[in-house]
């Protein structure tokens, strides 16, 4: 998820083309993050110090960490800590950027200072983003005091990543009474802590999601495609209900769907825009309230 968030931000700023982004994602699958890049990202070494060690490695048959310790740049404990972070997705993205000679980790970190400022994120928020953990990232995009939605939204995003698009990413969510989606599906979950969730979109925004989940190539968002979206909601909500540990009893109602609507309405619902491939779909959640397709 972090690769998509950062990559799309760079493209929005004109610092990366779509083709370069695709190349980076391909490269990211093959890279092993270098210890020097992690050390620079963690502020333990400067880029110049890392380059110096890399140059020494070219003429010495020794590991980066061993040379860095000998030169006094790192301690043994720091090397061991850095080694554990080599599988981090953000660092792999940064390594792919360097491999493609697009920018260094220091340059990327500098650009992300603007991203942090634009989103009013703290240093801890940025650490959560770079962790690439859905449960840590999602709260950054939800409104203040929206903890009640975390579990449902988290299950939905994780399921969509697993079943539809591993490269999806969220946009800033908001509390709303009405959306302008033109089609979609919803499902009511009844019980003491009941809720309604829905997936909607404009035009053919749901086409890719329906095609991948339904394992059928839909050419438009018709009733068959929306039937697949309804089944996807059923899958998401079924997983959430099965994972509830608080002893509450919840029952899934049959999903419903409509085309040609003017939007979804509720007295109060969370709307989380999710970018899936080249489209944006809305995940809607109302807790203890209804959602209607108008």
Confidence category of residue 111, pLDDT binned at 50, 70, 90: very high
The pLDDT, as a whole number, for residue 250 is: 87
Q: Is the per-residue pLDDT at 58 higher than 80?
A: no
The rounded distance, in Å, linking the Cα atoms of 98 and 60 is 23
Residues 125-157 have pLDDT tens digits of 999 999 999 999 999 999 988 999 999 999 999
Nearest by Cα to 212 from 165, 249, 257: 165
Q: State the SS3 of 45-56.
A: CCHHHHHHHHHH
The percent of the chain in helix, strand and coil, each rounded to the nearest 5, is 50, 20, 35
Find out whether 264 and 293 touch, Cβ atoms under 8 Å.
yes
Question: Which CATH class name applies to 137-293?
Answer: alpha beta
Q: At what angle do helices 134-141 and 150-163 cross, to 10 degrees?
A: 120
Residue 285's pLDDT band, with cuts at 50, 70 and 90, is: very high
Q: What spatial distance separates the first Cα and last Cα of the chain, rounded to whole Å?
A: 33
> Shortest CA distance to 78 belongs to which of 51, 107, 43, 52?
43
Q: Provide mean pLDDT across the span 191-212.
A: 95
Helix H segments across 119-221? 123-130, 134-141, 150-163, 207-214
User: What pLDDT was estimated at residue 87?
Assistant: 78
- What's the mean pLDDT in 191-218? 95
pLDDT-based confidence at residue 243 (cuts at 50, 70, 90) = confident
Q: Residue 30: CB partners within 8 Å, gap ≥ 6?
A: none
| Of 159-173, 236-250, 277-291, the least confident | 236-250
Q: What is the DSSP letter of 255?
A: P
Q: Which residue has the higher pLDDT, 79 or 225?
A: 225
CB 39: neighbour CB atoms within 10 A?
Answer: 27
**Residue 12: HSE in the Cβ half-sphere, 13 Å Cα cutoff:** 10
Q: Which residue has the higher pLDDT, 223 or 81?
A: 223
Rounded CA separation 259/131 (Å):
38
In DSSP terms, 185 is beta-bridged to 199, 257
pLDDT the model gives residue 61: 66
Question: Per-residue pLDDT tens for 98-109?
Answer: 999 999 999 999
DSSP letter (8 states) at residue 195: E
What percent of the chain has pLDDT above 90? 76
Residues 47-57, mean pLDDT to the nearest whole number: 89
Q: For the chain, what is the mean pLDDT? A: 92
Task: Give the domain ranges of the chain.
Answer: 2-133, 137-293
Across 80-103, b (16+ Cβ under 10 Å) vs e yields: eebeebbebbbbbbbbbbbeeebb
What local confidence, expressed as pLDDT, does residue 245 receive? 65
């Amino acid at each position: 998820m972090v690769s998509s968030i950062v990559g799309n931000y760079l493209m929005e700023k004109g610092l990366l083309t779509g083709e370069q982004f695709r190349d980076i994602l391909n490269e990211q699958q093959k890279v092993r993050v270098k210890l020097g890049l992690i050390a620079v990202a963690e502020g333990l070494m400067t880029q110049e110090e890392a380059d110096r060690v890399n140059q020494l490695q070219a003429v010495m048959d020794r590991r980066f960490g061993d040379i860095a310790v000998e030169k006094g740049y790192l301690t043994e404990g720091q090397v061991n800590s850095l080694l554990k972070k080599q599988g981090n997705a953000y660092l792999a993205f940064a390594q792919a950027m360097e491999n493609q000679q697009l920018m260094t980790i220091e340059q990327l970190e500098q650009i992300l200072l603007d991203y942090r400022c634009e989103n009013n994120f703290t240093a801890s928020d940025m650490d959560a983003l770079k962790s690439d953990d859905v449960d840590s990232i999602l709260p950054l995009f939800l409104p203040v005091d929206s903890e009640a939605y975390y579990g449902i939204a988290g299950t939905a995003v994780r399921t969509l990543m697993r079943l539809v698009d591993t490269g999806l990413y969220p946009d800033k969510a908001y509390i709303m009474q009405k959306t302008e989606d033109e089609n979609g599906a919803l499902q009511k979950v009844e019980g003491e802590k009941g809720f309604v969730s829905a997936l909607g979109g404009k035009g053919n925004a749901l086409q890719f999601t329906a095609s991948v989940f339904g394992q059928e190539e839909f050419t438009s968002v018709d009733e068959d495609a929306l039937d697949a979206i309804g089944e996807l909601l059923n899958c998401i909500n079924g997983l959430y209900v099965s994972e509830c540990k608080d002893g509450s009893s919840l029952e899934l109602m049959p999903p419903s769907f409509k085309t040609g609507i003017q939007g979804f309405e509720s007295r109060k619902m969370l709307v989380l825009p999710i970018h899936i491939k080249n489209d944006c779909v809305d995940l809607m959640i109302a807790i203890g309230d209804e959602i209607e397709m108008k």
